[in-house]
């Protein structure tokens, strides 16, 4: 089916005798915003690392447009759970970095870098180095850098977990605006149920290790979503009931 972007087929990942991902299969459609929720240690990061070939799968495979994932060919941005700015580059240079490696024209690089910096409110900090920034500002650099490359697939591993609430809400809304504008496919990992219900078109719920898919929920609440609305609260409670990892 050509509306599928990512196809996960019988993915199994073991570390020695520890079985983490146990025969996982699911599809992500083009343009989908998928949230993946699962308890700590169930293998969410392992899944993204397997997708991007940082880890090799024990068995099974992950395909993009029916081909094995190829980071040269497939424009994938990965926002790691740990911050990963380049300390020897300024904010602006960090954001430009991925664009320069793609050899885009300078005018495009400048425009995209400016837009990305404006989006996360870092214009005044463009000449700062990572060591001069707070943790939440570093995370904004990382997010701006990922958005700037206009990826076909954006992987986000609990990106807003460390941020204060106001900033988290703002970045969530900006992420949705960007997703709507670009129709980028997003796989967003979180263990925050409210965040998953706020963001996701679909929510994939994982079990404890050995990890399988408990269920996938379709979420068609209208946007912008209101976390206090009865429908939102109802769905959040349903997801919470389904999770029961404890």
User: Rounded CA gap, 64 and 209, in Å?
Assistant: 26
Q: How far is the CB of 209 from ligand ADP (least distance, A)?
A: 6
Please say whether the beta carbons of 181 and 154 come within 8 A: no
Binding segment for Mg ion (CB under 5 A), chosen from 1-9, 39-47, 91-99, 136-144, is 39-47
Closest CA to 93 of 138, 141, 136, 134: 141
Binding segment for Mg ion (CB under 5 A), chosen from 22-30, 36-44, 53-61, 139-147, is 36-44
Of 45, 50, 94, 184, which lies in the binding site for ligand ADP, with binding defined by CB under 6 A? 45
Which runs of consecutive H residues, i.e. helices, occur in 8-160? 44-51, 91-101, 106-119, 135-148
Q: Does 8 contact ligand ADP by CB under 6 A?
A: no
Count, residues near ligand ADP per rule CB under 6 A: 10
Q: Is 106 exposed, middle or buried (0-12, 13-18, 19+ CB in 10 A)?
A: exposed
Q: Does 35 contact ligand ADP by CB under 6 A?
A: no
Of 33, 45, 138, 196, which lies in the binding site for Mg ion, with binding defined by CB under 5 A? 45
Q: Interface with ligand ADP by CB under 6 A: which residues?
A: 15, 20, 38, 40-46
């Amino acid at each position: 089916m050509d509306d599928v972007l990512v196809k996960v087929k019988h993915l199994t990942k073991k570390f020695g005798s520890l079985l983490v991902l146990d025969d996982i299969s699911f599809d992500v459609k083009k343009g989908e915003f998928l949230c993946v929720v699962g308890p700590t240690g169930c293998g969410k990061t392992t899944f993204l690392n397997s997708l991007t070939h940082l880890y090799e799968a024990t068995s099974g495979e992950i395909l993009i447009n029916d081909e094995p994932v190829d980071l040269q060919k497939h424009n994938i941005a990965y926002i790691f759970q740990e911050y990963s700015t380049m300390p020897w580059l300024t904010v602006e240079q960090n954001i430009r970095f991925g664009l320069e490696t793609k050899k885009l024209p300078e005018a495009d690089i400048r425009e995209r870098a400016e837009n990305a910096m404006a989006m996360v409110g870092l214009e005044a900090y463009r000449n700062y180095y990572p060591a001069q920034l707070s943790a939440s500002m570093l995370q904004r650099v990382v997010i701006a850098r990922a958005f700037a490359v206009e990826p076909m697939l954006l992987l986000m591993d609990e990106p807003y977990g460390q941020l204060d609430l106001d900033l988290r809400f703002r970045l969530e809304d900006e992420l949705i605006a960007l997703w709507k504008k670009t129709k980028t496919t997003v796989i967003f990992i979180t263990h925050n149920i409210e965040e998953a219900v706020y963001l996701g078109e679909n929510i994939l719920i994982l079990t404890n290790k050995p990890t399988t898919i408990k269920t996938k929920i379709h979420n068609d609440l209208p946007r912008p979503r209101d976390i206090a609305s009865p429908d939102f609260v109802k769905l959040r409670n349903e997801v919470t009931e389904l999770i029961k990892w404890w």
